[in-house]
Chains A and B, each alone.
Chain A
Amino acid sequence: MTQAAEIALKGVAKRFGTTEVLPPLDLTFTAGAFTVILGPSGCGKSTLLNLIAGLEAVSGGEIEIGGRKVQDLPPRERGCAMVFQSYALYPHMTAGDNIGYPLKVAGVPRRERMARIAEAARVVGLGDYLARRPSELSGGQRQRVAIARAIVRAPQVMLFDEPLSNLDALLRHETRAELADLHRRIGATTVFVTHDQAEALTLADQIVVMNAGRVEQIGTPADIYHRPATRFVASFIGHPPMSLIAATGDGTWLRLGDGTPLVASTHKGAVLAGVRPEAVVLDAGGASLVPLHREDLGSHIVQVFRLPDGQKVAVQSPAGRPVPTDAGLGIAEHALHLFDAETGVRLGS
């Protein structure tokens, strides 16, 4: 068991020349928690991870790990270990030597090293492959070696840089469960970077959604899904994504561009009304819908409709129960998400 440490970022910023990659940022990663940083590629999530690891220098602000200011320390003194997307195994060393390399650098005697290599290999479930070179291992085995190399030093902080994206779909699913299990046993504070929402929703205690260098929302998977803080989060999370419909409120109704009432609301002014496809209820009295196309996904069916003013809305229904094509749109009040039309920020509760 490792001593988990809290990570606190205070005003951490990163610039390359005059380009601001990350504006100043305050963020806390709870000790022992599994935090996923989620965002599209280029949103700055890997940069954030590198700043914590010490692979890149901060342009401003402070990083504390376990109460120690580390932003000026080299990576090896920060107590972090990292698993890379490409695994970054040393091709000229055996799997065992790869796992033991951090110990060798730290000057751990050979006997103790061998014992800890064996233990780390056991923890990740790496069988009798310690004598093989990385080129003789499968993708999944390589990943286990990479994880074993990260845990062998009993780090306070484990950093993962999209470690599942090189695995095929089936293996990715399996490994996801193993990682969650591993985290429970090791207990190190874990920061996991990914662009895959399924990984984020299943693994995380806490999700940080990032876009274009800014943090859009921090919360539990349930928060993120059920109460998206911004229009970006609403459209990024969920599959199929939430339908966002531009509407204008007159105090009693939100109306579409052509005046058709969409849903009752006391809001006034321009808004984005969001509704998840699975939360749409059909109501013959609602806005009329023209069916466009249908995706049958086996377990459920997604039907896309056109609203009277030309905008689109998706409706999900269970398999075998296709949506009637003459239905009108109904949105229950508790299923409605409102966002400011200008800023994209969530309105109300």
Chain B
Amino acid sequence: MLALFPQRWLAFALVLPQTLLIALFFYLPVYLAFYWSFTLERPFGGGSEFVGLQNYARVLADPEFWRSLRLTFVFMVIGSTLAIVIPLILALAADRHIRLSQPARNILVWPKGVAGASIGLVFVFIFNPFLGLLAPLNAVFPGIWNPRIDGADAFTMIVVAHVWGGIPFNFVVLLSGLQAVPQVLHRAAALDGAGPWRRVRDVQLPLIAPQLFLTFALEFTESVTGAFGLIDSMTEGGPGGSTTLLVYKIYVDGFRGYDLSGAATQTALLMIFVLILTAFQFLVLERRVRYER
């Protein structure tokens, strides 16, 4: 900090607008989620009553909650992994400076301009069992693909759309990491007898560990929360709840079921889940990826 200007009142005025918004629309809602998780909240402002851990007992005894949490976790692992591995492979290819590198660097950022809820509609059509791309397959093996009936198909469809939307950020960040690897290291490794594949493993991946860490850290949170638009536009949580991730279940419970206390309790639990995940990443993983370049 440079601490050049002594005008404290002006500094206060400068931070006021954003800090007010953050207090009102971030800290107050976070506080309310925890507060309501200990009360029975009636919809439409009908008053509230302190109930201790009853809400938690109710939520934790609900198999639907555990299934949503499990689905969230599975989606996080599969979705994040694919949403990073695929851009990583593309970035390794683009880093070779071939003819397609330039167009790829432009086009692969396009998904950033399309809302998840919009591309979800397009994928629903593409994956439509009777009209879509896989319709011919269904004609030969009836019923082999039907995301409206088969939960695994529906889940797959959302993962594909999620990966599509995750390409821009992960590709750009990983590619910029790869481009920062000094050419001289490639030459040194080549002189040491390492072939191109070996260099990927021994030189490039270790050196972009900070970028990999960043993409994973952000992708985890994104996969837990960002899938809402896809679910709502593609499956509405179905079939039979097989794509009801926790973030969607909270919405349904709160806005359709008017169970504010239940939704707040699940919100509190999901926030704790995300915070633990983030803390784990920063305390355990991050220490291993710091290099002096």
Q: Do chains A and B touch in the complex (CB under 8 A)?
A: yes
Question: Is residue A318 within 8 Å, beta carbon to beta carbon, of the partner chain?
Answer: no
Which residues of chain A come closer than 8 Å to B4, judged between CB atoms?
55
What string of 1s and 0s marks CB contacts (under 8 Å) between A54-86 and chain B? 010100000000000000001000000000000
Question: Is residue B103 within 8 Å, beta carbon to beta carbon, of the partner chain?
Answer: no
Question: Is residue B113 within 8 Å, beta carbon to beta carbon, of the partner chain?
Answer: no
Q: Nearest chain A CB to B10's CB is how many angstroms away?
A: 13
Complex: A74 Cα to B6 Cα, angstroms: 9
- Shortest Cβ distance from B5 into A: residue: A74
Complex: A55 Cα to B5 Cα, angstroms: 9
Complex: A57 Cα to B3 Cα, angstroms: 10
* Contact residues on A (Cβ < 8 Å of other chain), bracket: under 10
Q: Nearest chain B CB to A54's CB is how many angstroms away?
A: 10
Which residues of chain A come closer than 8 Å to B6, judged between CB atoms?
57, 74
What string of 1s and 0s marks CB contacts (under 8 Å) between B107-130 and chain A? 000000000000000000000000
Complex: A57 Cα to B6 Cα, angstroms: 10
**Tally of B interface residues using CB under 8 Å:** 2
Which residues B1-23 have CB closer than 8 A to chain A? 4, 6
Complex: A74 Cα to B4 Cα, angstroms: 10
Q: Nearest chain B CB to A327's CB is how many angstroms away?
A: 52
- Shortest Cβ distance from A74 into B: residue: B6
Q: Nearest chain B CB to A76's CB is how many angstroms away?
A: 12
What string of 1s and 0s marks CB contacts (under 8 Å) between B91-108 and chain A? 000000000000000000
Which residues of chain B come closer than 8 Å to A74, judged between CB atoms?
6
Q: Nearest chain B CB to A152's CB is how many angstroms away?
A: 22
Q: Nearest chain B CB to A214's CB is how many angstroms away?
A: 26
Complex: A55 Cα to B6 Cα, angstroms: 11
Q: Nearest chain B CB to A75's CB is how many angstroms away?
A: 9
- Shortest Cβ distance from A72 into B: residue: B6
Complex: A55 Cα to B3 Cα, angstroms: 9
- Shortest Cβ distance from B4 into A: residue: A55
Complex: A55 Cα to B4 Cα, angstroms: 7
Complex: A55 Cα to B2 Cα, angstroms: 10
Q: Nearest chain B CB to A57's CB is how many angstroms away?
A: 8
- Shortest Cβ distance from A56 into B: residue: B3
Complex: A142 Cα to B119 Cα, angstroms: 54
Q: Nearest chain A CB to B6's CB is how many angstroms away?
A: 7
Q: Nearest chain A CB to B274's CB is how many angstroms away?
A: 36
Q: Nearest chain A CB to B77's CB is how many angstroms away?
A: 47
Which residues B35-72 have CB closer than 8 A to chain A? none
- Shortest Cβ distance from B2 into A: residue: A55
Complex: A57 Cα to B4 Cα, angstroms: 10
Complex: A57 Cα to B5 Cα, angstroms: 11
Which residues A19-66 have CB closer than 8 A to chain B? 55, 57
- Shortest Cβ distance from A75 into B: residue: B4
Q: Nearest chain A CB to B113's CB is how many angstroms away?
A: 31
Q: Nearest chain A CB to B45's CB is how many angstroms away?
A: 51
Q: Nearest chain A CB to B11's CB is how many angstroms away?
A: 15
Complex: A33 Cα to B139 Cα, angstroms: 97
Q: Nearest chain A CB to B141's CB is how many angstroms away?
A: 66
Which residues of chain B come closer than 8 Å to A57, judged between CB atoms?
6
Q: Nearest chain B CB to A160's CB is how many angstroms away?
A: 20
Q: Nearest chain B CB to A73's CB is how many angstroms away?
A: 11
- Shortest Cβ distance from B7 into A: residue: A74
Q: Nearest chain B CB to A219's CB is how many angstroms away?
A: 35
Complex: A185 Cα to B190 Cα, angstroms: 63
Complex: A207 Cα to B236 Cα, angstroms: 80
Which residues of chain B come closer than 8 Å to A55, judged between CB atoms?
4
Q: Nearest chain B CB to A15's CB is how many angstroms away?
A: 15
Q: Nearest chain A CB to B3's CB is how many angstroms away?
A: 9
Complex: A74 Cα to B5 Cα, angstroms: 9
Which residues A158-207 have CB closer than 8 A to chain B? none
Q: Nearest chain A CB to B247's CB is how many angstroms away?
A: 45
Q: Nearest chain A CB to B78's CB is how many angstroms away?
A: 48
Which residues B162-204 have CB closer than 8 A to chain A? none
Q: Nearest chain A CB to B8's CB is how many angstroms away?
A: 13
Complex: A246 Cα to B4 Cα, angstroms: 48
Complex: A42 Cα to B4 Cα, angstroms: 21
Complex: A181 Cα to B6 Cα, angstroms: 37
Complex: A26 Cα to B4 Cα, angstroms: 25
- Shortest Cβ distance from A57 into B: residue: B6
Q: Would you give 3 A-B contacts (Cβ < 8 Å), ordered by A?
A: A55-B4, A57-B6, A74-B6
Q: Which 3 A-B pairs have the closest CB atoms?
A: A55-B4, A74-B6, A57-B6
Which residues of B approach A to under 8 Å, CB–CB? 4, 6
